[in-house]
Amino acid sequence: MIKEIDNVSIVVDDLKSAVEWYKDVLGLRHKFTEESIQWAEMDSGGRSSLALKTKGNPSVCFVVTDLEEEMKRLRLKGVSFDEIIELPSGVGRVTSFEDPWGNEIDFYEPPQK
């Protein structure tokens, strides 16, 4: 089941400069940076984050309760997925797909407690 939006990501050329700009100019709080995948998250003041990345396309990421179940459900409706990626530091798993208009959508499953 889709629970909520986890983050909206945008692509930047320089991760460090982007973190500083969003922090200093917009006043967002820097949550963390994961250098190994060139990814940083900024606190947007709500439950969702603004994610900054240097690769890929802008995307919206939904939190799901069961990644395999959601993939199975949407495959029956003709959706094709990228592979499941285990995120660094044990923070969960993610997969991606595109809507019919070419927009990237990610499903994120947090670690099971």
Q: Give me the pLDDT at residue 15, please.
A: 97
Q: Give me the pLDDT at residue 89, please.
A: 79
Q: What angle do CA 14, 18, 22 make, to 5 degrees?
A: 175
pLDDT in tens, the chain (113 residues): 999 999 999 999 999 999 999 999 999 999 999 998 999 999 988 899 999 999 999 999 999 999 999 999 999 999 999 999 998 878 899 999 999 999 999 999 999 87
Rg (CA), the chain: 14
Tell how far CA 1 is from the center of its chain. Answer: 17
Check which CATH number belongs to the domain holding 78 and give it: 3.10.180.10
Q: Residue 100 — φ and ψ, nearest 5°?
A: -60, -15
Integer CA distances (angstroms), 55 to 12, 40, 75, in order: 8, 12, 26
Q: What pTM does this model have?
A: 0.89
- As given in the structure block, the two tokens for residue 40 are 């940083």
Domain enclosing residue 38, as ranges: 2-109
State the total domains in the chain: 1
